[in-house]
Amino acid sequence: MNGDTFVTLSLAAFGSILAGFATMGFSRIVLPYTTARLLATPFVLVGSVLVAVLFVRSVLAVTGIRPLE
């Protein structure tokens, strides 16, 4: 993975989590809490998985096992 891909995935993770919070906030205006949570869950889940993958990738790069290109 090169540095540009890493940055792109980082921005995608940030955007996904931000979209989850925005979806939760705006949908709570017109929908019940449980429905709003169900609508926001996919965004937050995808963002969380991306953050976990990027964390593991960065640890591998820092330790020198699999450096960024």
pLDDT at 1 over 90: no
Distance CA 54, CA 36 (A): 28
Task: Report pTM.
Answer: 0.87
Token pair belonging to 64 = 């020198």
Q: What are the tens digits of pLDDT across the range 5-19?
A: 999 999 999 999 999
**Tokens representing 42?**
């996919």
Question: pLDDT tens for residues 22-63?
Answer: 999 999 999 999 999 999 999 999 999 999 999 999 999 999
